[in-house]
Structure 1
Amino acid sequence: MSTFRIANLAFGKSTLDSAYEFDYGGHHFEVQRYGTHFSIPYLKDLMRSLRTTVDAIALSDLPPPMHLGKKSYIHRQVLDVMATPLSIPLCDGYQIREIATVDSIARYIADGTLDPEDGIFFPIGLLNLEIIVYLREKYGESIRLGDAFSVLGIPKLLTPSDDLVLPAQALMNLVNLRDIEKQTPMASSGWKRMVRERMAGSLSGIKSVVSDVGVLALFGKDVSFIRGKDVYLTSSNPAMEKFLNQHEPSTIRNLFPENFRLSPFINYSVLDAALRLAHGKTAALSIEEWQEMLATEPMEKDNRRRYVVLSSPSLQTRLQNGAHQVLRRTRAKATPDFAFVVHPLSREDIFRVPGLRGLRNLPENYGKPIEKLISKAPGFVYGHIRQIVSEKNNREVNGIIYSLPSTPRLMKEEDPDVTYRKVERLCHLAAESGAKIIGLGAYTKVVGDSGETINRNSPIPVTTGNSLSASATLWAVHDAVQKMGILKMDQATGLVDGTAMVIGATGSIGKVSAKLLSLAFKKVILVAPRLNRLEELARDVRATSPGCEVLVTTDANELAGHADVLVTATSAFDQKIVDVMRLKPGCVVCDCSRPLDFTEEDARKRPDVLIIESGEVVLPGPVKLSCDLGLPDNSVYACLGETAILAMEGLYEPFTIGRDIDWLKVKKIYRLATEHGVKLATIRGHAGFVSEKEISIVRALALKGLSLPR
């Protein structure tokens, strides 16, 4: 039985800290709670100090995303926390909570335990919007909200009527201007505390109270309003329940899903971490995937879609984008089904943009300052891709392509928040234009937490496209190895009698490439800078492919001469990841990195090695592309291809997000690609398409080199 360690970092008090253990899915889990006393800096310090000693970090008691009038609000400091660079899952449990609490309320109503018409009180309604929206249509007159009492110090109970949406939206914008720690009841004035003491007298006709234990803990002795009432807790803590019982509630019930109460102390963020670790889904999951894992009833799935999936930009964003809407309508362009974000990979690519081409021949001392100046500009509409027609369902889809005028080097040098803000603005523009999903290209899917934060704050689902990128990479390797004709199959094992090396193996594309290559090759070599992460990946690969020998190294040059196939997936920029002269004759190199790890000069030095770029794809239909992506003919990047495939399939979800790719999704996107008629583009090297004649020359030189003493 494997053991996973989870650090539960709570925004609240340390008085509730505890260490506990439980078993689930054949795994043992050890959890330690750390209260951070409402300090964001301390929370982030703990995240950085614990990231190498635990398998996942679970965040609790932070303000959840607010969905008001189909608009999403997330506090800026929460976004900042979620963007902290980590190589382990960072879990918040928000989606599980939204699903589970509604399901539990529905069950209590169905079995007669809860009658909403007897009155339900929410001390802070903004923190339980998923339940309120579910109940409002039928029981709106029976619901009372204590936000005015609790947050503003105004002695008035509210009802969840539609006329409160705009004031609540305004409040969210104001709240976002202040630090979170200054907005808890702990920071309340004497006036607010005095007003809250009057709350109990206003609830005489209310039978039930719904709240999180963390919220009730903040009220302290003011929590006496629960006396004689049925209390429904969205999460549990034995010490807190003991405290609440001192105030003599009629009953205390829990909305936490019963079949997942693995410990009396477990909360949604810890459950999020445990489920992802136990099921090997370390990347963020979509709403649909959580519903399937939690075995949600279809009726509740439909209810959830009404108020979680359909979030859209705030009023502020809509005003900012007004000019863009007018321009789009004036041009009467076809509404896009999807959007995609690209950016220049080098300074030369910047000058592909119409209007900038005349600057490409500027002297070096002018080029760099202009590159930096242009990078400060916001993203813009770069072009469109139209008339993509599925061979599966004959559906035609169109896309809009945005560009950020910044190279990977400049993005890496600046704060990730800068890139986040630029990309999030494009997500809102895409939503306003009608797009239902947006894909991230090149370095925009690497920066920060690999799309998780952007997806969280986007009005439409976001995908990095890395599932198809990984699939197309191995697709290209397979074709190249077959055409080279040097490696043979071991008939006894069914494996290729050769060695595959993956450099950047602990990255998103590297991990899944390593697992899939281990299913085909007798030996796999994993290369990355951190040995502990390599050894962890090696255990996973061995479990996946017991018949494959797995070696690890932090120095690619050490074992490069043994590799028959080499896949690179790094963000190394100008650093040399491996000496091309150390490669084995006949080695097939697939360079997935952007910018590329291997240069044209490297290819010239080793004419006996086949160096190809990662697989690009050709989309089906009479595709019309109105901008220059730096690719020949009708080829597009695989990450753009994934976004288009999801649009053709009507699968509008964050299919690939985070640093880890689910290899089952790699298989699924490959299947969808073939069903819809997406093809692998012709193999390309540094000089363009690689012809059959060029491959035969490389093969001849390789066979000659292999026959010589080495």
Structure 2
Amino acid sequence: MPDTPRILVVSAGARSPDGPEPLDLLGRRFLVETVACDGDTAAARRAVREAGDGVAAIALDGFSPHLELGCRTALHPGLATLLDQPAGIRVVDGQGVRPALERWGVALAASAQPGIFARASVLMVPGLGHGGAAQALSRHARRMRFADPAIFFGLPELLGIGSARTLAAATSATLARLREADPLLIERGRDEAVRARSLVRAFRRADLLAGSAAMILRFGPRDLSGKTIVVDHLRPDQLEALVRRRADRVVTLLPGLAGDGPAGHPSAVIEALLAAVCVERGLEPDEDAYLDLLADLDWRPAIRELKPGRSGVHRFAFVIHPLRVEQIHRHPLFRWTRVLPDGVVERVAARMPPIYLGRIRGARSPATGQAIEGLLYSLGATPRMMMRMGERPTYRRLIRVARLAERRGARIMGLGAFTSVVGDAGITVDREVDIAVTSGNSLTVAATLEAAKTAVRMMGTADLSRGRAMVVGATGSIGAVCARLLAQAVRDVVLVSIEPERLIALKRRILAETPGARVTIATSTTRHLGGCDLVVSATSAFGQRVIDIARARPGAVICDVARPPDIGRAEAAVRPDVLVIESGEVIIPGDVDFGWDIDLPPRTAYACLAETALLAMEGRFESFTLGRELSTERVKEIFRLFRRHGFRIAPLRSFGEPVTDGMIAEKRRLAARLRADPELFERTCREAADRLAQIPVSAKGVRAARRWDPMTLASRVFESLGRRLERRRRARA
């Protein structure tokens, strides 16, 4: 055998490439020579019989003696003679490696781009010879159909013909008929099937076409918009044809062995190369030996975006929901609900399916140039309704959003506001869907602490390490990690929670992590609030006042992380010397258009949304932050990524308004007067407490529902409908 062994490819194609092609596999170089037979079985037999010296193995490309469908295989008698080995040369048709490589390729593609196959409607074109792909894709698909009955036999789509359910029952009969069929029919299908109505409908309903590129192009429609194409290998001319037909993307499952050449080679070529390596190493070329060799290959399937502007764009999804009933009224589709009782609107909206709001466009990393695009969805439930209905309805709607987003190309989904609080903070949703899920709480913590540090400095406390900080809701997921990180910087922290047993455990953990820290625990803010320079509020409490702002220290900073917020504008107004800021909000790099009014300034996002966008920008399609136990290491890691990609903490805001230098100056002036005059401070605290007592206790910003009798409710409904009909009549006139 010469130094560079030869692989002979006997192809059913009409044209041979110019000269041999060098291919490298497992550290060995081969020269691959192709003989085109244009579907002529006799010519293929001659090519096999006349293989010259130095041929290490022969690959049959397009001539398939082994017929594989589902879990069964059969040998075609008219093609079986091609497997006769001349002078001991191994002759293969790819069946020894194709099923394993297809299954492996699907798994690798799904890992590289989570959700790429999720909930797809799959049409196998054909299933014959692609059982590995069919089996692997069935684990992701919501529906599987097979074009084989129409392609090979011209059968209509009746009585479940072509469905996955009938495959097992029909496999034996199908293989028996195909064993008697013309080899050209097996390779190319029936000519009249191109116009078969059942096949046209099947292509129209599918959003993922898998199998043979030649068959998909032969029988598929001229317009493949919205389709993902999954094939074992792809020639350059076939790739050009898919681009002309406007397919969305193409996935080639088999390894590409020629550097910059077309992704993937026919399975017969790969098996021939493996067989040659086996012979050189003294191994028997069988499936077990192939698997051992394949395990040493370092490769990934090629995933190509075919539409301009889509290639290289990472997509994410994010879920929001109304914090108050007023936000439901502001939606263009539901403005008419303003005449209805808030309680009725709130209950009905909570049971609505998720709504797609729009796309987030224009974000791009200045460090890497990576562009991202977001899909914005909304649930209809307010936080109060989420708590009232229990976690299961919210889980179902979040899972539905994830699956909708998967089909639109999203690879990670973020949970906004109360959706990250309900239940197990994303763990169940993550378990039920293919794309990654993150609560966004890691960046929420990092952004909150950065904003709090800025606010404290603005209010005149230059060195917070000598001050005191309080965390309210300290045993929650955000509160606990805030407390652990604050203890490292401030050294004197007060932890407040209604769960004393978890407070004790958290105190012990902080003391173990940060020796020398002073940690005080309490179930109420009452005793310790007056001595704290910084208060971080991160509760999920409803219908109660968690912070008595009247007792706050002069010039204190309260950072309200909770969504909806724990402190209302009217409550903050009783102590004008205290600065109440919203949790850290983030400016995303690029010319960002959120496609929807999220109640924030331009380019500014909530930290939980920004974490999802940041992970997409970094290409970290993983469930980064889940559950109630946050990691300080993850918080530090996400902040490093935050800086790397040019994200910035947004200017501070207080109740939707920017915190100005004039506002800070006035608060510092008032705080200085109160600190200098203890009697004035005591009087101010009493007056603030009296005013606070007159303010109704807020239930997370959702006002209590008014009671309406049935007749009044009915009259309001008919009044609203009448107004809409009148507007339509006038518009037509």
TM-score, normalised with respect to structure 2: 0.51
Q: Report the equivalent of 1:619.
A: 588
* Alpha-carbon distance in 2 for matches of 1:479, 1:438: 30
Could you tell me which amino acid in structure 2 is paired with residue 599 of structure 1? G
Deviations 1:333-372 (A, max 9, x none): 9976111000001101112322223433x26xx2221221
In the other structure, the counterpart of 2:669 is: 700
Structure 2 residue aligned with 1:564: 533
1:504 maps to what in 2? 473
Alpha-carbon offset, residue 497 of structure 1: 1.1
Report the Cα offset of residue 573 of structure 1. 2.6
Aligned partner of 1:454 in structure 2 is 429
- Cross-structure match for 2:487: 518
Retained in 2: the 8 A contact 1:336–1:433? no
Shift of 1:558: 2.2
Could you tell me which of 338, 342, 356 is aligned with 2:320?
Answer: 342
Change (3 A) 1:163 1:133: closer
Match of 1:539 in 2: 508
Match of 1:584 among 553, 556, 561: 553
Alpha-carbon distance in 1 for matches of 2:398, 2:476: 22
Alignment of 1:125-274 (within 5 A): 162=132, 165=135
- The CA distance in 2 between the partners of 1:340 and 1:134, in whole Å, is 30
Give the whole-Å Cα distance in 1 for the aligned partners of 2:527 and 2:372: 48
1:444 aligns with 2:419: yes
2:601 to 616, 632, 647: 632
Aligned partners of 1:656 and 1:300: how far apart in 2?
32
Judge which range, 437-446 or 571-580, deviates more.
571-580
Change in Cα spacing, 1:698 to 1:431, as seen in structure 2 (3 Å) is same
Q: Indicate how the Cα distance of structure 1 residues 602 and 135 shifts in structure 2: closer, same or farther if over 3 A, else same.
A: closer
Residues 310-325 of structure 1: matches in 2 within 5 Å? Answer: none
SS in 2 for 1:666: helix
Give the distance between the partners of 2:655 and 2:604, measured in 1 at CA: 15
| Partners of 1:380 and 1:404 within 8 A in 2 | yes
What residue number does 2:351 align with? 376
Contact 1:338 1:438 in 2 (8 A): yes
- 2:617 aligns with 648
Q: Residues 25-104 of structure 1: matches in 2 within 5 Å?
A: none
Matched-pair contact (CA < 8 Å) for 1:339–1:435: yes
* Residue-by-residue CA offset, 1:392-425 (whole Å, 9 max, x unaligned): 1011111010000110100111131111111001
- Partner letter of residue 403 of structure 1? S
Q: Is the 8 A contact 1:134 1:303 kept in 2?
A: no
After superposition, residues 486-505 of structure 1 pair within 5 angstroms as: 487-489=461-463, 496-505=465-474
SS in 2 for 1:566: strand
Instruction: Tell me the amino acid that sits aligned with residue 708 of structure 1.
Output: D
One-letter code aligned to 1:668 = E
Change (3 A) 1:415 1:562: same
Residue 680 of structure 1 corresponds to 649
Question: Are the counterparts in 2 of residues 585 and 706 from structure 1 also a CA contact under 8 Å?
Answer: yes
Q: Which amino acid aligns with 1:374?
A: A
Describe the shift of the 1:686–1:302 C-alpha distance in structure 2 as closer, same or farther (beyond 3 A): farther
Change (3 A) 1:333 1:502: same
Q: Using the alignment, how far apart are the partners of 2:133 and 2:668 within structure 1? A: 73
Partners of 1:471 and 1:501 in 2: CA distance: 16
Q: Report which of the two structures shows the higher radius of gyration computed on alpha carbons.
A: 2
Equivalent AA in structure 2 for residue 383 of structure 1: G
Correspondent of 2:381 among 401, 406, 412:
406
Q: Does 1:604 align with 2:604?
A: no
Amino acid at match of 1:354: P
Distance 2:424 2:578 in 1: 35
**Alignment CA distance shift 1:301-1:467 (3 Å):** farther
**Mapped partners of 1:447, 1:579: distance in 2:** 26
Retained in 1: the 8 A contact 2:474–2:497? yes
1:385 alignment partner, SS class: strand
- Residues 119-140 of structure 1 show CA distances to partners (whole Å, capped at 9, x for unaligned) of xxxxxxxxxxx9x977999xxx
State the aligned residue count: 405
Deviation at 1:172, TM superposition (A): 12
Task: Determine helix, strand or coil for the equivalent of 1:677.
Answer: coil
The equivalent residue for 1:234 is none
* One-letter amino acid of the structure 1 residue matched with residue 670 of structure 2: L
The amino acid of 1:667's aligned partner reads K
Structure 1 match to 2:497: 528
> Using the alignment, how far apart are the partners of 2:296 and 2:585 within structure 1?
36
Asked if 2 retains the 8 angstrom alpha-carbon contact of 1:335 and 1:433, the reply is no
Deviations for 1:559-591, whole angstroms, at most 9, x for unmatched residues? Answer: 111111000001113311121111111110000
- The alpha-carbon distance between structure 1 residues 172 and 678, as it changes in their structure 2 partners (threshold 3 A), is closer
Contact 2:314 2:371 in 1 (8 A): no
Letter of the 2:513 partner, please give it: T
Q: Distance in 1 between matches of 2:546 and 2:106?
A: 58
What CA distance in whole angstroms lies between the structure 2 residues aligned with 1:382 and 1:591? 27
Kept in 1: contact 2:456–2:462 (CA 8 A) = no
Q: 2:330 aligns with which of 346, 349, 352?
A: 352
Do the aligned residues in 1 keep the contact of 2:500 with 2:523 (CA within 8 Å)?
yes
CA gap 1:340/1:543 in 2 versus in 1, 3 angstroms? same
Q: CA deviation at 1:166?
A: 9.4
- Separation (CA, whole Å) in 1 of partners of 2:489 and 2:664: 22
Once residues 411 and 381 of structure 1 are traced to their aligned partners in structure 2, the CA distance between those partners, rounded to angstroms, is 19
Structure 1 segment 474-489 matched on structure 2, within 5 A: 474-485=449-460, 487-489=461-463
- Structure-2 change in CA distance of 1:475 and 1:300 (3 Å): farther
Q: Measure, in 2, the Cα distance between the counterparts of 1:171 and 1:428.
A: 11
* Structure 2 residue aligned with 1:464: 439
Selected match of 1:433 from 390, 396, 408: 408
Equivalent position amino acid for 1:476 in 2: A
Q: CA deviation at 1:682?
A: 1.1
Aligned-partner Cα distance in 1 for 2:479–2:299: 35
Q: Report the secondary structure of 1:431's partner residue.
A: helix
3-state secondary structure, aligned to 1:623: strand
Name the amino acid aligned to 1:404.
L
Give the direction of change, closer, same or farther, for the CA distance of 1:585–1:562 in structure 2 (3 Å limit).
Answer: same
Aligned AA for 1:523? D
Q: Could you say if the C-alpha distance between residues 167 and 446 of structure 1 is closer, same or farther in structure 2, counting changes exceeding 3 Å?
A: closer
Amino acid paired to 1:424: I
Whether contact under 8 Å (1:335, 1:434) holds in the other structure is no
Q: 1:471: how far off?
A: 0.5
* Residues 37-62 of structure 1: per-residue CA shift (max 9 Å, x gap): xxxxxxxxxxxxxxxxxxxxxxxxxx
Judging changes above 3 Å, is the alpha-carbon distance between structure 1 residues 537 and 440 closer, same or farther for their aligned structure 2 residues? Answer: same
Distance 1:303 1:504, change over 3 A: farther
Question: 2:671 and 2:316 mapped to 1: Cα distance?
Answer: 44
CA apart distance, 1:703: 1.5
Task: Compute the displacement of 1:167 (Å).
Answer: 12
Displacement after TM superposition at 1:300 (Å): 8.4
Match of 1:393 in 2: 368
Of 517, 531, 534 in structure 2, the residue corresponding to residue 548 of structure 1 is: 517
Specify every segment of 5 or more residues in structure 1 that has no aligned partner in the other structure, as ranges. Answer: 1-68, 70-129, 138-159, 174-298, 311-328, 490-494
The TM-score normalised by the length of structure 1 is: 0.53
Closer/same/farther in 2, CA of residues 480 and 424 from structure 1, 3 Å limit: same
Contact 2:533 2:553 in 1 (8 A): yes
Cα distance in structure 1, aligned partners of 2:380 and 2:661: 37
The alpha-carbon distance between structure 1 residues 681 and 701, as it changes in their structure 2 partners (threshold 3 A), is same
Partners of 2:103 and 2:132 within 8 A in 1: no
The answer on whether the counterparts of 1:379 and 1:422 sit within 8 Å (CA) in structure 2 is yes
Alpha carbon RMSD of aligned pairs, Å? 3.5
